[in-house]
Structure 1
Amino acid sequence: MATTAHALHILVKHKDQALDVLKQLEKGAKFQALAKKYSKCPSAKKGGDLGEFRKGQMVPQFDKACFQGELITPQLVKTRFGWHVVKVLYRT
């Protein structure tokens, strides 16, 4: 069972914008470039890189996506902060 994960994310206010970001990723856009352009999180400066974090450190919905969702494939997650496009790089 993984206890840490490393993820990138793009935080936006509306689902429509999150879906648009996903479409751009599917067309080959770079995750880090989209994070710098759209994300409302301070991590945007680092291309959305949250670094490595422990299970339970993030809000429950985000935590579940990072520890149970697919690796590498961007996914949508809704939290109290807004809509996240999350890309989990690895788990340990």
Structure 2
Amino acid sequence: MAATAYALHILVKHKEIAEDIIEQLGKGAKFQTLAKKYSSCPSGKKGGDLGEFKRGQMVPQFDKIAFKGALLESHLVKTKFGWHVIKVLYRT
């Protein structure tokens, strides 16, 4: 079982915007470019880069995707902060 994960994310207020971002990613848009454009999280300035974090550091819904979702795919998840598009790069 992985103890840490490394992820990128884009945080937006509305599901429709998050779904549009996933669609753009599917057409080849760069995650980092979309994060800088859309994300309301301070990590957006760094292309959505959250770096490496431990299990339990993120809210439960985010943690579930970070540690169980498919790697290198875009996932949509709602938390108390809004809608996240998450891409997990690796786990250790």
Q: TM-score range by the shorter chain?
A: over 0.9
Partner of 1:54: 54
One-letter amino acid matched to 2:71: L
One-letter amino acid matched to 1:37: K
SS of the residue aligned with 2:28?
A: coil
SS of the residue aligned with 2:8?
A: strand
SS of the residue aligned with 1:16?
A: helix
Partner of 1:85: 85
CA distance in 1, matches of 2:24, 2:68: 24
> TM-score if structure 2 supplies the norm length?
0.99
User: 1:75 aligned to 2:75?
Assistant: yes
Q: How far off its partner does 1:14 sit?
A: 0.4
CA distance in 2, matches of 1:53, 1:67: 10
Partner of 1:44: 44
SS of the residue aligned with 1:8?
A: strand
What is the total number of aligned residue pairs between the two structures? 92
One-letter amino acid matched to 2:60: P
Instruction: Tell me which stretches of 4 or more aligned residues in structure 1 moved more than 4 Å.
Output: none
CA distance in 2, matches of 1:79, 1:41: 13
Partner of 1:16: 16
RMSD (Å), alpha carbons: 0.3
One-letter amino acid matched to 1:11: L
Q: State the identity as a percent.
A: 74
Q: Deviations over 1:12-47 (max 9, x none)?
A: 000000000000000000000000000000000100
Partner of 1:33: 33
